[in-house]
Structure 1
Amino acid sequence: MPRPLGELEGAAMTRIWEWNRPATVREVLEDLQKERPIAYTTVMTVLDNLRQKGSVHREAEGRAYRYKAVSTRAAYAAALMNEAWSTSDNPAVALVAFFGMMSPEQRQALRDAIRVAQADDQAEAKGK
């Protein structure tokens, strides 16, 4: 079950996802400082919170740690959507409401995704 990210957690995760490699506190700090003043210890705490939430793994590198995302941004977003949908008392109504919030581009992306999922289902059925 994914836990929603706070503002700073989201900003840190965005960097880690975009870089697609393990990152140090210093690297995340320097990139965040381009947008706002922030302390090293704050970024260190945020990354440790993300580790405790299960969003990142860390590996020791000398006296520092490198943090790496546990999943992709897309997988995280999908897990959040699934969590929200599955906790609804009426999933069908929740989906209709969600679709109503989508832009035409998002609805097209959804149609495309459904076609891919159906093709995967058909290929799996043939393989059995």
Structure 2
Amino acid sequence: MSTTPSAAEGDPAEGGRRRPGQLEAQVVTVLVDAVGPLTPGEVRERLDPDGTLSYSTVVTTLTRLFDKGAVTRERDGRAYRYGAIRDAAGLVAERMSRLLAAEPDRTTVLRRFVSTLDNRDEQILRALLEEDSDP
């Protein structure tokens, strides 16, 4: 069973706001969990069975993910079916890499990023860096 949060969580219609990339991550998770490629309607149904998320929002999100190379798209009659290329964590990592690549002063960006990490995340990062430095 998937742990995908409901699309209504953080939904502006429900009084909250989604974090940047939250809906994209939820859509990718739905696609990763699916047996095969899904239509936008099938994605919407799995994300939001109550129907509060608009069909056009799902189509726009899927199109953006396709344009970023994060999902596949194949024609199925008059519609498209979408499939995942990478999981939600891969999508976030790619976004972080793009943001870092756009900044000429990477040292300052990384220093400030690390300074915002909580202790647990800092320890995870240190352990990952140590793994990569082992021969």
TM-score, reference length from structure 2: 0.64
> Which residue of the partner structure matches residue 94 of structure 1?
109
Structure 2: gaps spanning 5 or more residues: 1-19
Seq. identity, %: 31
Cα separation, 2, equivalents of 1:93 and 1:44:
37
Paired residue for 2:132? 117
Instruction: Please tell me whether residue 52 in structure 1 is matched to residue 72 in structure 2.
Output: no
| Deviation digits for residues 95-119 of structure 1 (CA, Å, limit 9, x no counterpart) | 1110111111111110121122123
Q: Structure 1 residues 47, 77: CA separation in 2 closer, same or farther (over 3 Å shift)?
A: closer
Equivalent residue, structure 2, for 1:126: none
> Are 1:76 and 2:91 counterparts?
yes
- RMSD (Å), alpha carbons: 2.8
Larger displacement relative to structure 2 (93-102 or 28-37)? 28-37
* Distance in 2 (alpha carbons) for counterparts of 1:116 and 1:43: 39
Aligned residues: 115
Deviations 1:27-46 (CA, angstroms, capped at 9, x unpaired):
21112324651343442343
Residue 29 of structure 1 corresponds to which residue in structure 2? 44
Relative contact order, CA 8 A, sep 6+: which one is greater? 1
Distance 1:64 1:48 in 2: 12
Which consecutive aligned stretches of 4+ in structure 1 deviate over 3 angstroms post-superposition? Answer: 5-11, 39-42, 60-65
Give the partner amino acid of 1:103.
D
Is the Cα–Cα contact under 8 Å of residues 25 and 88 in structure 2 kept in the other structure? no
Q: Which moved more, 1:87-96 or 1:7-16?
A: 7-16
Find the counterpart in structure 2 of residue 66 from structure 1: 81
Q: Report deviation, 1:63.
A: 5.5
Distance 1:108 1:20 in 2: 33
1:67-101 deviation digits (Å, cap 9, x = unpaired): 11222323322222222223333222211110111
Answer with 1 or 2: which has the greater Rg.
1
Which one has a larger percent helix, Structure 1 or Structure 2?
Answer: 1
Q: What is the TM-score when the length of structure 1 is the normalising length?
A: 0.67
Question: 30-39 vs 90-99, which deviates more?
Answer: 30-39
Moved more, 93-102 or 75-84: 75-84
